[in-house]
Amino acid sequence: MEARPQTNEYAPIFGMYVNAVPEGNIVHILRSNLDELVSLLEPLNEKQAEFRYAEGKWSIKEVLGHITDNERVWTYRLLRIARGDNLTFPGYEQEQFVREAQFDRISLRDLLDEFIYTRRSAALLLQGLPEEVWLKEGQLYHNKLTARAAACVIAGHEIHHRNILKERYLSQLSV
């Protein structure tokens, strides 16, 4: 899928993620972004991965865990839409997910592996979708949600958090 979603295909709150995705094939973008995030975080040791740039902010491990959880939620939504379920999807509470997951107790290597497998699974799902599926829709936050918009949110959400990791975390760690 290379066609960008129109603004009426997703809730306005997700525009920042959709707009963060470069032009091109979404499967190639997801695979490329996978390598970028892993290369960025792989050199960190466990202590560095637990760094928080300010009190009350998530650690690097928590950000990575959040990216993975979010990708799972959005891939599930995309799967349901692609398979013809015209559902109204509930939101989820990201703070609760991060708190309940206790990502800081999990090794960085395991969190990276979990992200790698989740991203590869998403890319394989998208790769296998027929062209006519991309405009199928469900509903989220009282707005239409198409499969192609969901795919862009998956990619854009990770790009957004990767940029935060670079700007607010790794810049302070001098990695």
Specify the pTM.
Answer: 0.93
Give the residue from 163, 166, 164, 157 showing the smallest Cα distance to 19: 157
| Secondary element (H or E) of residue 101 | helix 94-101
Q: How many CB atoms lie within 10 A of CB 85?
A: 12
pLDDT by residue for the chain (175 residues), tens digit each?
Answer: 667 899 999 999 999 999 999 999 999 999 999 999 999 999 999 999 999 999 999 999 999 999 999 999 999 999 999 999 888 888 889 999 999 999 999 999 999 999 999 999 999 999 999 999 999 999 888 899 999 999 999 999 999 999 999 999 999 887 6
Kindly give the pairing relationship between strand 137-140 and strand 143-146: antiparallel
